[in-house]
Amino acid sequence: MKPTISLLARLIDTLAPRSCTICGSRLTVTEEVMCACCNQCLPRTGYSKSAFDNRLSRLFWGRIPIEKGAALFFYKAHSDTSRLLYQLKYGGHPELGERLGQIVAAEFAQDGFFDGITAVLPVPLARQRERERGYNQSVEIARGVCEETGLPLLLNALERITFHGSQTQKDRWERNENVDKAFHLLDASAVSNQHILLIDDVITSGATLVAVAKEVLKGNNVKVSVLSLGFANNG
């Protein structure tokens, strides 16, 4: 249930108006991140309604034993909606990740997506990249998901031990090689006997999440599911 808009919130909104991340128009006091029009036009995948079998989930079949998979919207580079991820990753706006995490969690919960999931684990960033950016966008998304669902957030179970540049300009095979053995499970007890939801900002080839999942699955009796904001549907 949304909280009542306070007089202070209305005053702050008047003095410091906020704009839609997608189209730039002014947000009303009840809108967050994007305006109602852009929210309605967001190319949602609808995958939370068929989380066990959809195009994203099938991307991982034969690579890792995945339970469920879903993304909020279809991602296309340089599109209007891609500004959501550009601002989150490169614009210095970690608060976007937390709010988008809340939005996706609220929507997916209606379809029972989180049923059976016991903990949330965001994809770690390399220390160098996190220092440059000032935050890990996947952690911010995960915070929002956990705030909305009440699930525990695992931040110290896994680390990224290698970084060989961004995945953005690499093909599928280069992406696989780039993240092969890039992660290390620090605390097997934290993931053992858990159904872990892995969270990333955008899924393209799935290489990063496959590498993460392989480490997480070293724990005892672990199940994994995946969630992202964007899914680069190139097929």
Q: Which two tokens stand for residue 78?
A: 């340089």
3-state helix, strand, coil in the chain (%, to 5): 40, 15, 45
HSE, CB side, 13 Å, CA atoms: give it for residue 21: 24
Q: Which two tokens stand for residue 21?
A: 């991340």
pLDDT given at position 164 = 59
Architecture in CATH of 43-231: 3-Layer(aba) Sandwich (3.40)
Closest CA to 48 of 114, 118, 140, 142: 114
| Under 8 Å between Cβ of 9 and 32 | no
Q: How far is CA 64 from the centre of its chain?
A: 19
Start-end of CATH 3.40.50.2020 domains in the chain: 43-231
HSE, CB side, 13 Å, CA atoms: give it for residue 140: 21
pLDDT in tens, the chain (235 residues): 444 556 555 555 555 678 999 999 999 988 999 999 999 999 999 999 999 999 999 999 999 999 999 999 999 999 999 999 999 999 999 999 999 999 999 999 999 999 999 999 999 998 888 888 999 999 999 999 999 999 999 999 999 988 555 545 544 544 444 577 889 999 999 999 999 999 999 999 999 999 999 999 999 999 999 999 999 976 5
